[in-house]
């Protein structure tokens, strides 16, 4: 019983941490550590958004990010943004390798979780869940924190 109460207290504490200092937040899944999952507030009427996270593999074996899903959007995909001449384009990124003892960044102008057909606007300070699926580590429910419309993530 005492143990249970301690667990609850720890859960409440970690919730408090999530809302107060999102930057320090990280989630573990097997050998993976997911740092600072974040998104940007969507301007009025925007039907799509994106989510970003840093994926660290502390293990000796490579893993792969194979998919993403979220209840906030009609369709969720991992995209890669790139320059095509002087046009910014993006397309589905396919399977993303997470090297052993390596890191993969999902960030503005690069890889991102694309949220298409948002069911409601993303407002600064909100949190929502994006589920990432890895070949080895399995499914991870990321708690994504919504930042400002023009947040580039660089101060984090």
Q: Which residues bind Cu ion (CB under 5 A)?
A: 79, 90, 114
Q: Which is nearer to Cu ion, 14 or 82 (CB)?
A: 82
Provide, rounded to whole angstroms, the least separation between the CB of residue 32 and Cu ion: 22
Give, as one character, the DSSP assignment of residue 92: E
Distance in Å from the first CA to the final CA of the chain: 39
Q: Which is nearer to Cu ion, 114 or 142 (CB)?
A: 114
Q: How far apart are CA 112 and CA 72, in angstroms?
A: 15
32 forms bridges with which residues in the sheet?
A: 29, 57
Q: How far apart are CA 60 and CA 148, in angstroms?
A: 37
Provide, rounded to whole angstroms, the least separation between the CB of residue 16 and Cu ion: 33
Q: How far apart are CA 95 and CA 134, in angstroms?
A: 9
Beta-carbon contacts of 129 under 8 Å, excluding residues fewer than 6 positions away, are 70, 71, 141, 142, 143, 144
Q: Which is nearer to Cu ion, 30 or 110 (CB)?
A: 110
Provide, rounded to whole angstroms, the least separation between the CB of residue 117 and Cu ion: 13
Q: Which is nearer to Cu ion, 133 or 136 (CB)?
A: 133
By beta carbon distance, the residue nearest Cu ion is: 79
User: 130 with 78: CB under 8 angstroms?
Assistant: no
Q: Which is nearer to Cu ion, 62 or 81 (CB)?
A: 81
Provide, rounded to whole angstroms, the least separation between the CB of residue 81 and Cu ion: 6
Provide, rounded to whole angstroms, the least separation between the CB of residue 86 and Cu ion: 18
């Amino acid at each position: 019983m005492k143990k249970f109460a301690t667990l609850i207290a720890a859960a409440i504490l970690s919730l408090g941490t999530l809302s107060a200092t999102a930057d320090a937040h990280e989630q573990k899944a097997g050998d993976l550590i997911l740092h600072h999952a974040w998104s940007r507030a969507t301007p009025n009427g925007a039907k799509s958004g994106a989510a970003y996270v840093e994926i660290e593999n502390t293990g000796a074996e490579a893993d792969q990010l194979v998919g993403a899903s979220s209840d906030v959007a009609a369709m969720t995909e991992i995209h890669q943004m790139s320059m095509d001449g002087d046009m910014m384009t993006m397309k589905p990124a396919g399977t993303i390798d997470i090297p052993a003892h390596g890191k993969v960044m999902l960030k503005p102008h690069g890889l991102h979780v694309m949220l298409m057909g948002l069911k409601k606007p993303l407002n600064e300070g909100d949190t929502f869940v994006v589920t990432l699926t890895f070949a080895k580590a399995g499914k991870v429910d990321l708690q994504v924190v919504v930042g400002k419309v023009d947040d580039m993530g660089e101060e984090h």
